[in-house]
Each structure stands twice: as C-alpha cells, then as structure tokens.
Amino acid sequence: MIKKISRERTYQLYKKFPSSFYISDQFTYPDLFETYVLTTASKSVRGHATNMAKATQQLYTVLQIPSLIFLGDTKVPWLSQNNAYPPVQRAMQFLATGKLGTAFNGGLQVATKDVSAFFVHLFWLVRCNAALPIFYWMNEEQTILANLCQYGNIHLSTLTAAADAQLQAAIPATNLYVYEGAYCQEAWGAANKIGGRSLIV
C-alpha cells in the first residue's frame, strides 16, 4: 500500500529528511554514523532494476522495518518531468494509478511488502529523469537514510550505532553487497551512455 503525505506534514513528522534549495544555495542534512554503497549482481539494466527492487525489499524485511517513507529533497513534483522512454512511462502510470497528481511533491509511505513493486519504478524515474530531485527514503524511526543513484546503486547511511550494527548483520542475509569502488558505476558492466536519460525543465 502507498500512502500520500503532504510535504509539510512529512517534514513535521520526519525532521531528518534532507532538503535542498538551489536558488538560495541552502540545504539541510542529518548527522550520519556510517555510509555505504549497496548493489547486487546483474547482467543487464532491466535485470538490475528487478534485482535491486527485490533485494531492497529483502533488506528491510530482514531489518523488520514495516514501512518506508520516500521524499524528494526539493519541491519539484514526482511527475514533473515527462519522458517518452517506455520504462519511465510505465513508472509514471504506476504512480498516477496511486492518485499522484502532476503537482504532488510530498512524501510517500510504502509498506515493506510493497517496496519491490514500487522500487522498480523508482529505479527508472531516477535513472532517466535528470531534472528530478534526489528521492530519499527512511524508516519511521529515522535511523537509516538512503537514496538511489542513476547507476542503480543504493547510497545508504546509518544514523545511529545501533542501526549500523543491525544493518551489518542484515546485509549477508540478502542479495545485496557493499560496493567498494572509488566511483559509482553500473553493476552489470562498464558505464556507457544511460539509455532514456534526459533533462527536461
């Protein structure tokens, strides 16, 4: 199940969400305990979208986190950038089915059991729509913060020592692994031009 939360209400409830204001060059970001880049083995970009979606749900299931809250770091709406690339079109249709209007820029609370279905569409929005915000997600306790990059990797930060210990214990029970490279890249091969990626403002 996906529940909409207004942007103002999301920040009232979850004050550790990052925010960016590009016009004034201001931003807020919580104090972090440790940071990781997580990915999984894949043979193609479409396979990676599916594999990361399943592995992400697997991780939060192991962590016994019942739901996640997703929010962009700017006021730009979720569906603000139209893109004719078929996977992006399917992602936009999926969100529109959840009654997200074109002006909605608030938070989305997603039950962990539904994360895989949601995440595969988030993957394509992030990968292909360069003008969108950074979409972060957190658990309700605000102890784990993460976002997805255009290369399909999760940039995850723990905010407490206890959460970090839980995460390190959970990762081996999933299909995710910690990426140790100096620069983020695609897990299925050398990075090339990202198909379908565009900047429409």
Report the C-alpha gap between 199 and 201 in whole angstroms: 6
DSSP reduced 3-state for 69? strand
pLDDT confidence band for 182 (50 / 70 / 90): confident
Structural domain spans, the chain: 2-15+33-178
Report the C-alpha gap between 178 and 196 in whole angstroms: 27
- pTM for this entry: 0.91
Nearest C-alpha neighbor of 107 from the set 41, 198, 18: 18
pLDDT confidence band for 186 (50 / 70 / 90): confident
Rounded-to-10 torsion of CA 26, 28, 33, 37: -70
pLDDT of residue 181: 83
